[in-house]
Amino acid sequence: MWATGIVCRLTFIVFILCFVSNAFSADADNDQTLYANDKRLKTSASSVDLLPYERPKGFDWLSASPGNLVSFAKRIRPKENAWWLAGIGLSTAVLIKYDQAIMDESQRFARRLGLISDTKNGRETYTLIDASAGGYDLPLIFPKNLNSVMYFIGDGLTHLGIISGLAGYGVMNDDNRSLSTASQTVEALFVTGVVVQVLKRTTGREAGFKATEDGGKWQFFPNQMEYNKNVPKYDAFPSGHLATAMATTTVLAENYPEYTYIRPLGYTLMGLLSFAMMNNGVHWAGDYPLGIAIGYTAAKVAVERNRKQRWLKANDPERVSQMNFSAVLPFTKGDALGFSYVSNF
């Protein structure tokens, strides 16, 4: 019975992974035109993919960020995506209702597999370098056991490694596609991080291993000083690990469509990550649908901005300079000297 229960629950989570991967973007994948709102930009996504990639500048991701955040907000479009939004909301609500039972079952299964035990919580790590900056601990850590390895699929170091690999390959081989993919991944992760952090710091849900009640207590609009002092008491919803994993997977798949295994591999690894985070009590299943949707949407925003820029470069070069312009400029006011950030998007 326990095996049947856990298989059913994990199958449902995999279904959620597949379902919300299309959230907010059902039209983007099936539409015959990439930029239907601009008559001069009517072209298929596949045609744009044939255009040469531009070599990104070092801080293109930063200058693009304000516009990407605006584009992210616009893509929600409740009227056009009512069914997807309802699906994400319903799946989240159902999972939250059964979160405690799902986590309990997951952890029982993990104990049978030896992934966790009374002396092993599945979050153990090795600290290679103990560092800090600005009052924050920034240790360089690596996983210590199998559950921690699965948990690290969504860790920032993993995605930094992917970005570094793409950038390094691009530099060594003069490969603009690899460099652009690295830059787009940074763009997507930046937007993902901003959106996820705003929601975490608004909803204040307890992580499973810190829960004071079944399903974890929700403390909306928590005191931010208290949040910073005891992050796991407030930061469960939504899952940033799953959001970043989805963002990275989507950017890679969109830029390397000939490698058809990227999505299946990415989703499989995300399934393992989801399982590991319930085992170690970091996240509830109800934290997953919205996290996945956020990562997917942020990735699509970054990818489509790049495609639009490439199309304009080939067809309307003068307009490229108008996209995502930003600059840091000095200013003076009385005896004060400072800097201002100017952006056009």
End-to-end alpha carbon distance in the chain: 56
The Cα 343–Cα 345 span in angstroms is 7
**pLDDT for residue 25:** 44
Residue scoring higher pLDDT (232 or 339): 232
What residues contact 112, with CB distance under 8 A and at least 6 apart? 2
The answer to whether the CB of 205 falls within 8 A of the CB of 287 is yes
- The DSSP code for 117 is B
Residue scoring higher pLDDT (65 or 46): 65
Report the b/e string of 130-165 with b at 16+ CB within 10 A: eeeeeeeeeeebebebbbbebbbbbbeebbeebbee
Q: Rounded to 5 degrees, what angle do the CA atoms 161, 207, 106 make? A: 85
The Cα 262–Cα 130 span in angstroms is 34
- Residue-wise pLDDT tens digits, 102-127: 999 999 999 999 999 988 888 888 77
- CA distances 4 to 18, 153, 274, Å, are 21, 26, 18
pTM of the model: 0.83
- Residue-wise pLDDT tens digits, 223-270: 999 999 999 999 999 999 999 999 999 999 999 999 999 999 999 999
In Å, the largest CA–CA distance within the chain is 75
- Residue-wise pLDDT tens digits, 165-184: 999 999 999 999 999 999 99
**pLDDT for residue 61:** 87
The Cα 85–Cα 77 span in angstroms is 9
Crossing angle of the two packed helices 176-203 and 60-75, in degrees rounded to 10 = 60
The Cα 8–Cα 309 span in angstroms is 44
Instruction: Please list the residues that pair with 66 across neighbouring strands.
Output: none
**pLDDT for residue 234:** 96
- Residue-wise pLDDT tens digits, 309-335: 888 877 766 655 555 555 444 555 555
Which structure tokens are listed for 135? 């009052």
The answer to whether the CB of 34 falls within 8 A of the CB of 46 is no
What is the phi/psi pair of residue 143, to 5°?
A: -65, 150
The Cα 10–Cα 213 span in angstroms is 23
Q: With bands split at pLDDT 50, 70 and 90, how would you rate the model's confidence at 83?
A: confident
Q: Rounded to 5 degrees, what angle do the CA atoms 111, 112, 118 make? A: 30
Task: Output the CA torsion 72→78→81→85 (10° steps).
Answer: 90
